[in-house]
């Protein structure tokens, strides 16, 4: 599963009520949305370790904490670690992390690392990766979690393309290991964007879209982005969160794919937890031992 949970940004609406994560209990709703799916592997984007540190934050003068962290919610007493997950946080791009959470009951962690995919002169961008082996079956595989540059200007598109080029140069070396690779994240690009078509899904990239390969598809073509000012309305065509695969062994199945419409998770509030929807794919490896 891939989910951009939106960083906790400054601004008048936030500073006027700094404990709400932009609206009351949004942080709790994000956690609940994840726990509702309980994926074996979870890649998150825009996870910030320190927020609300603005000089005008009312908490500074009220004697309260000067910062809050997404990790306080995600990994607190009711969070993912208390529900069977372990995590590789990796390095951050600025203050934002792309952590990879995994169920220790389903996979054995092998190794991990962080790749710098920052474009020349661009904003810091990283890709976190981790390798695992399935406990039931013995298949080794690699997960890569990315967050490309956003925006629609020519400079934005060029920066995003360079993010992809640097990522794929590393992946070409990893392919020599022969293990399946699952590439997921917020690519800030539709499937027909040049950053994807020229680097990831072309013949040399060799990645396939789980949305296409899945036997059962739910909301597969739905937008994954929405207006963060209201948290209520999806953009008409903005599917920028993807799960790609390559080097899948024979007899691997992808029985299910879903763009998860999780507005209900906030109950009577009637808002989505984030300005992105999560995407989830079931990938079933064959048993090899």
DSSP readout, 152-211? SSHHHHHHHHHHHHHHHHHHHHHGGG---EEEEEE-SS-TTSHHHHTTTSSTTT--EEHH
pLDDT at 122: 92
Distance CA 209, CA 183 (A): 10
pLDDT at 237: 84
Pairing of β 241-246 and β 208-209: antiparallel
Distance CA 122, CA 136 (A): 42
Mean pLDDT of the chain: 90
* Backbone φ, ψ for residue 163 (5° rounding): -55, -45
Give me 149's structure tokens. Answer: 């540059």
Q: Give percent above pLDDT 70 in the chain.
A: 89
User: Hey, what domains does the chain have and what are their CATH numbers?
Assistant: 2-284 (3.60.10.10)
Residues of the chain below pLDDT 70? 9-20, 50-68, 289
pLDDT at 94: 77
Chain centre distance of CA 201 = 19
Contact 219, 258 (CB under 8 A): yes
């Amino acid at each position: 599963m891939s989910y951009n949970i939106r960083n906790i940004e400054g601004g008048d609406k936030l500073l006027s009520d700094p404990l709400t994560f932009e609206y009351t209990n949004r942080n709790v709703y994000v956690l609940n949305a994840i726990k509702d799916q309980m994926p074996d592997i979870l890649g998150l984007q825009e996870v910030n370790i320190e927020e609300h540190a603005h000089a005008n934050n009312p908490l500074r003068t009220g004697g309260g904490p000067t910062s809050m962290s997404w990790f306080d919610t995600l990994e607190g007493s009711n969070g993912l670690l208390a529900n069977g997950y372990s995590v590789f946080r990796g390095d951050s791009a600025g203050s934002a992390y792309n952590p990879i959470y995994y169920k220790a009951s389903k996979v054995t962690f092998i190794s991990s690392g962080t790749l710098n995919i920052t474009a020349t002169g661009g904003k810091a961008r990283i890709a976190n990766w981790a390798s695992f082996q399935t406990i039931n079956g013995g298949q080794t595989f690699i997960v890569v979690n990315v967050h490309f540059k956003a925006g629609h200007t020519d400079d934005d598109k060029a920066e995003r393309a360079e993010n992809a080029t640097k990522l794929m140069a590393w992946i070409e070396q990893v392919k020599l290991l022969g293990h399946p690779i699952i590439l997921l994240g917020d690519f800030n690009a539709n499937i027909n964007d040049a950053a994807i078509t020229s680097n990831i899904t072309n013949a040399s990239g060799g990645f396939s879209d789980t949305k296409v390969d899945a036997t059962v598809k739910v909301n597969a073509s739905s937008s994954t982005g929405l207006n963060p000012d209201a948290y209520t309305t999806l953009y008409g065509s903005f599917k920028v969160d993807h799960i790609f695969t390559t080097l899948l062994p024979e007899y691997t199945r992808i029985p299910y794919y879903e763009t998860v419409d999780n507005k209900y998770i906030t109950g009577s509030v009637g808002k989505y937890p984030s300005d992105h929807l999560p995407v989830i794919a079931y990938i079933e490896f064959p048993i090899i031992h």
